[in-house]
Amino acid sequence: SELTEGPAEVAARSAFLAEADRLKRIERATTLCDASRPENSAEHSWHLALYALVLGEHAPEGVSLSRVLRMLLLHDLVEIDAGDVPIYAQTTQGQAETEAAELAAAERLFGLLPEAEGAPLLALWQEFEAASTPDARFAKALDRFQPPLQNLASGGVSWLAHNATFEMVEARVGRAIARSMPAFWDHIAPRIRAFLG
């Protein structure tokens, strides 16, 4: 079916896409591989989608790569309102507050779209957050796998900033990686241990 929407729906989609542009200004704790500057959450989301594309055929049985791609493209949009919380700075006390802020952000942002479009995208974001399905767990594993690779390449900028130990990396990201991508955790774990000593 060719596009036959009225101008109001066209305008709503354009407004959402312009608002999404602000994700390019959200800085993360990790840097580019060459350590030249912090990575932003928009280019990080692109990189993760590329990870899914290149590693996706080896996802656990039954994972839908197309749904994983969509989750990864959307997963950080809430940071436009709620900011990025570095994984090594997360506390149990802060977590409930962050979750409330992110849910409000998701409702505002996906609410900019026509209802029939926004509601399924909000549900997809919630599925990712809850890690409640194999698709979401694989998407989470990729989200946990990319930062250690950036750290290994950059000289560990964000690990050093948060005094990370191998045990911290293993607890905060290693388990999520190993659950969906064991060969990739086996590949990087010895390198992380060697780096963090």
- Residues that bind a second copy in the complex, under the rule CB under 8 A: 1-5, 7, 10-11, 13-14, 16-18, 20-25, 32-34, 36, 39-40, 42-43, 45-47, 49-51, 53-55, 57-58, 60-61, 65-66, 69-70, 73-74, 113, 117, 121, 146, 149-150, 153, 181-184, 187-188
| Residue 22's binding partner out of Ca ion, a second copy, none, with CB under 5 to 8 Å set by partner kind | a second copy
In whole angstroms, give the CA distance from residue 189 to residue 148.
Answer: 9
The Cβ-side half-sphere exposure at 44, using a 13 Å CA radius, reads: 30
For residue 43, the minimal CB distance to a second copy (Å) is 4
- Residue 109 · residue 81 · CB < 8 Å: yes
The Cβ-side half-sphere exposure at 82, using a 13 Å CA radius, reads: 23
Residue nearer to Ca ion on the CB measure, 86 or 111: 86
For residue 78, the minimal CB distance to Ca ion (Å) is 9
In whole angstroms, give the CA distance from residue 158 to residue 150.
Answer: 9
Among 144, 150, 190, smallest CA distance to 171 is for 144
For residue 168, the minimal CB distance to a second copy (Å) is 22
For residue 12, the minimal CB distance to Ca ion (Å) is 26
- Residue 82 · residue 166 · CB < 8 Å: no
Among 197, 72, 196, smallest CA distance to 145 is for 72
Residue nearer to a second copy on the CB measure, 43 or 97: 43
| Residue 135's binding partner out of a second copy, Ca ion, none, with CB under 5 to 8 Å set by partner kind | none
Binding mask 64-83 for Ca ion (x = CB under 5 A): ------------x-------
